[in-house]
Amino acid sequence: MVDTTVELCGLKLDNPVIPASGTFGFGYEFAELYDINILGSFSFKGTTKEPRFGNPTPRIAECTRGLINSVGLQNPGIDKVISEELPKLKKCFDKKVIANISGFSVDEYVYCCKKIDAEEQVGIIEVNISCPNVHNGGMSFGTDTKSAYEVTKAVKAVTTKPVFVKLSPNVTDIAAIAAACEEGGADGISLINTLLGMRIDLKTKRPVIANKMGGFSGEAIFPVALRMVYQVYEAVKIPVIGMGGVLTADDVIEMMLAGASAVQVGAANLINPYACRDIINNLPQVMKKYNISRLTDIIGMAH
So where are the chain's domains?
A: 6-54+75-198+214-298
Portion of the chain with pLDDT greater than 70, in percent: 98
What's the pLDDT tens digit per position in 143-176? 999 999 999 999 999 999 999 999 999 999 999 9
Alpha carbons within 13 angstroms on the beta-carbon side of residue 21 total 34
Can you tell me the distance from the alpha carbon of 21 to that of 32, in angstroms, rounded to the nearest whole number?
19
Position 6 pLDDT exceeds 90: yes
- The stretch 270-297 carries a mean pLDDT of 98
Q: For residue 130, what pLDDT is reported?
A: 85
Number of continuous H segments (helices) and E segments (strands) in the chain: 10, 15
- The stretch 13-24 carries a mean pLDDT of 97
Q: For residue 131, what pLDDT is reported?
A: 75
CB 125 within 8 A of CB 101: yes
Position 132 pLDDT exceeds 90: no
Task: Enter the CATH code of domain 6-54+75-198+214-298.
Answer: 3.20.20.70
Q: For residue 255, what pLDDT is reported?
A: 98
Of the candidates 20, 6, 3, 12, the residue with the CA atom closest to the CA atom of residue 269: 20
Position 134 pLDDT exceeds 80: no
12 residue type, one letter: K
pLDDT-derived band at 137 (thresholds 50, 70, 90) equals: low
Q: Where would I find the beta strands (DSSP E) of 102-232?
A: 122-128, 163-166, 188-191, 195-197, 200-201, 206-207, 214-217
**Predicted TM-score (pTM) of this structure:** 0.97
Q: Who has greater pLDDT, 300 or 135?
A: 300
**Distance in Å from the first CA to the final CA of the chain:** 26
Can you tell me the distance from the alpha carbon of 174 to that of 179, in angstroms, rounded to the nearest whole number?
9
CB 148 within 8 A of CB 142: yes
- The stretch 251-259 carries a mean pLDDT of 98
Catalytic residues: 131
Q: What are phi and psi of 74, to 5 degrees?
A: -60, 125
Q: What are phi and psi of 216, to 5 degrees?
A: -90, 120
What's the pLDDT tens digit per position in 78-87? 999 999 999 9
Give all strands of the β-sheet with 214-217 in edge-to-edge order: 60-63, 66-69, 214-217, 195-197
Which residues does 203 contact at the CB level (< 8 Å), separation at least 6?
A: none
Average confidence score pLDDT of the chain: 96
Can you tell me the distance from the alpha carbon of 246 to that of 238, in angstroms, rounded to the nearest whole number?
22
